[in-house]
Structure 1
Amino acid sequence: MSLPLLALFIAAFAFGTTEFVIAGVLPQVAQGLDVSIPTAGYLVSGYAIGIAVGGPLLTLATARLSRKTLLVGLAIAFTLGQLACALAPDFASMLAIRVAVAIAHGAYFGVAMVVAVGLVREDQRGTAVALVLAGLTISNIVGVPAGTAIGNLWSWRATFWAMFGLGLLATAAMLLLLPRNTGSSDRPAGFRREVRVLGRQQVWTSLILMLMLMIGQFVPFTYIAPMLQEVTGLDAAFVPWVLLLNGVGATLGVFLGGKLADWKLMPSLIALTAMQAVVLAAMYLASPYPIPMVGVISVWGCLSFAIGTPVQTRILRWTADAPNLASSMIPSGFNIGIALAASVGAMILNAGHGYRSLPLLGVGAMLLASLVALLSYHFERRSGAVPPRLDMARSNRCAQAA
């Protein structure tokens, strides 16, 4: 891993940990801020809304800043946000701080993806995206359990003090490891052009794939704990271990997806989405049986992130000439998909269907994703369209600015 990519990885790990660790200390936060646990749950949904809405807006508003300046600024905002969370006097201030950090989170991942692919050769873009995404997956394996343990040993405020220290590390990594001229040759493409590239079929079909992926992943995952306990019959004490295996699978999947994206992006994407449909069908069949179910969940986590990496790589590849808005749509789209998946899952359960039925919706979503990917690839090859080269895109933006 190159040192600049290491810096992006560390910050991604920090943002990922602070997003998800709140779930591990939610009861303590609710008690400490004198609110109910359901009310404290708005700290989770508020964060997702901040990413989805605020991230793209902040990315566009800061388009004229150099990328290194912006990334360092976002890391500083993250660090100050963790300090403010550790000192938050009441729930309202805690919620406001979390939303502010989430806006920085959304902008960070949009910018970091663009910077990452600009640091490597064209045939290494998938791997670069995978390294940044690995910060998210590893945060669930290492950061979230560690933060939860700190909260259980001391207090939830100690968790955010630890996150403050992680923010200092991320900021230092940005300052020391990112090249001084990171993004210095980039010029904003203009709002109209940023919007226009979203109309490329490779971009909007990739956003559809992203939405289908989130349905296939988060409709079951949102309710994975009760599914494992009530359908599979596992004791609650074993659920974290199953989720750990899912997280390990997800981390392996990130790097697998990166390699496949660099090798044959669209053929791999078509095959992976079809395979995920099969795995979700296997989840439905295996759900009453503990050992097969644990194995399926591990493979499911691997494929989910193996699909996510080439989807994001494809968006970045086809928007290289105007990447700011499109790149910020990646974390925004994922969080909208997560929120939608959780709501759809709730509707299915409220309609009287059991937890076991949830993977079946994912089967349909992934079959649709495979069909969309196949048709998109067919029309792309038929038209002879080629993605803008990163170096040519930069030259065009510089010429427009001149």
Structure 2
Amino acid sequence: SLAHGTFFGVGSVVATSLVPEDKRASAIATMFIGLTVATLLGVPFGAWFGLMLGWRAAFWAVAVIGVIAFAVLAVLVPGHVGANDKPASLREELAVLGRPQVLLGLAMTVFGFGGLFAVFTYVQPILTRLTGFSDAAVSPILLVFGAGLAIGNVAGGRLADKGVARALLVSLGGLAAVLVALAAVISIKALAVALLFVLGIAAFATVAPLQLRVLEAAGVEGRTLASSLNIAAFNLGNALGAWAGGVTIDRGLGLGALPLVAALITAVGLLLALWSLRLDRPVVLATQCPAE
């Protein structure tokens, strides 16, 4: 977990450095496809490997894969990436955290993405107790959800390439709307599975725009730290959503209320995005006004 934020934070910076400016969001999305595929394949493979050879074997497999990944990065990542950038001091990196747009970007990530986990953390009891699926049906349904994640990841990157502001509003608004719709159809099996697929698309369509927004707000001098902190913000959002879902159940509102609670959390992220974009407007107007 200590390496996680740094790896994906630096990975986002490297990915955006390898492509033209109008392809930066797609580059971030491409990198996160690895995370999506790893989640889809790694969990069942790790469980099978541990069952066959013991739980220690799964950890050895992770270590071996890590060494292979290290070698691939050393060979394939161009050595010139970042070679001409002036190294930022720790003070310059930390100073970026004083920028309102960076802080708003981090908050957008916490709330915008966090809503998903108010539902996803409890997806198994939702599917078995509310929708009426058997325990054996949950894993195939999660594969459908995972396919949606992969599609949404690519779609979000392409949308953000055409404009980060529009991508933020469309993806966050779409995620909130899908969560509301899920609450309405959660007891209907076919529609529940279809909405979970769409939920996967909507959820990961937010990733590239949220990450690129923070990178742009941080600028060159603070992008590495800000990018890493935004990965931490995704994880904080995961924890926030899971906690909110637990409180909802504990207060007696039941599993059926979780999609609506999730939608409210994501709606906070959408409001923060609107606020952030509104703060951008005076800067845009100032650059467009002719000098007197």
TM range, normalised to the smaller chain? Answer: over 0.9
Q: Which of residues 316, 319, 324 is equivalent to 2:215? A: 316
Q: Structure 1 residue runs of 4+, over 4 Å off? A: none
Alignment of 1:3-402 (within 5 A): 102-321=1-220, 322-384=222-284
Q: CA deviation at 1:385?
A: 8.3
Gap change, CA 1:179 and 1:263, over 3 Å in 2: same
Find the aligned partners of 2:151 and 2:99 in 1 and give their Cα distance.
Answer: 31
Q: CA deviation at 1:149?
A: 1.5
Find the aligned partners of 2:244 and 2:264 in 1 and give their Cα distance.
Answer: 14
Number of equivalent positions: 285
Letter in 2 for 1:326: A
Q: CA deviation at 1:380?
A: 0.7
Work out which structure has the larger RCO, using CA pairs closer than 8 Å and 6 or more positions apart in sequence. Answer: 2
Bigger shift: residues 184-193 or 234-243: 184-193
Find the aligned partners of 1:279 and 1:316 in 2 and give their Cα distance.
Answer: 27
Percent identity, aligned pairs only, is: 36
Find the aligned partners of 1:215 and 1:164 in 2 and give their Cα distance.
Answer: 29
Find the aligned partners of 1:108 and 1:298 in 2 and give their Cα distance.
Answer: 28
- Normalising by structure 1, we get a TM-score of 0.68
Residue 33 of structure 1 corresponds to which residue in structure 2?
none
Q: CA deviation at 1:216?
A: 1.3
Letter in 2 for 1:155: G
Find the aligned partners of 1:366 and 1:257 in 2 and give their Cα distance.
Answer: 16
Contact kept, 8 Å, 1:213 with 1:308, in 2: the verdict is: no
SS in 1 for 2:243: helix
- Normalising by structure 2, we get a TM-score of 0.92
Find the aligned partners of 1:357 and 1:264 in 2 and give their Cα distance.
Answer: 34
- List runs of 5+ in structure 1 lacking aligned partners: 1-101, 387-402
Gap change, CA 1:214 and 1:264, over 3 Å in 2: closer
CA RMSD of aligned residues (A): 1.7
Q: CA deviation at 1:185?
A: 2.4
Q: CA deviation at 1:364?
A: 1.4
Q: CA deviation at 1:115?
A: 1.1
- List runs of 5+ in structure 2 lacking aligned partners: 287-292
